[in-house]
Amino acid sequence: MRMWGTVAAGLIALCGGVARAGETFPSDVRTITATGATSSCIGDPKTPVCAVETLLACFARRAAPLCRSVTARPFSADAAPPRTVSYRLLWLLTSRAKDDRSGTVYATLAVERLSGSWTDIYVHFLESVGSGWRIEEWGTPGEIGLPLRIDPRKTEILEKYGSVPLVTAYAVQ
- Domain span holding position 136: 2-168
Residue 95 lies in a domain: yes
Higher model confidence: residue 26 or residue 45?
45
114 in Cβ contact with 29 (< 8 Å): yes
Higher model confidence: residue 26 or residue 6?
26
Give every CB contact of residue 95 below 8 A, 6+ residues apart in sequence: 7, 8, 11, 105, 106, 107, 150, 155, 156, 157, 158
Identify the CA nearest to 47 among candidates 126, 117, 137. 126
Residue 67 lies in a domain: yes
Residue 173 lies in a domain: no
155 in Cβ contact with 97 (< 8 Å): yes
pLDDT in tens, 83-94: 888 999 988 888
Residue 56 lies in a domain: yes
Domain count for the chain, please give it.
Answer: 1
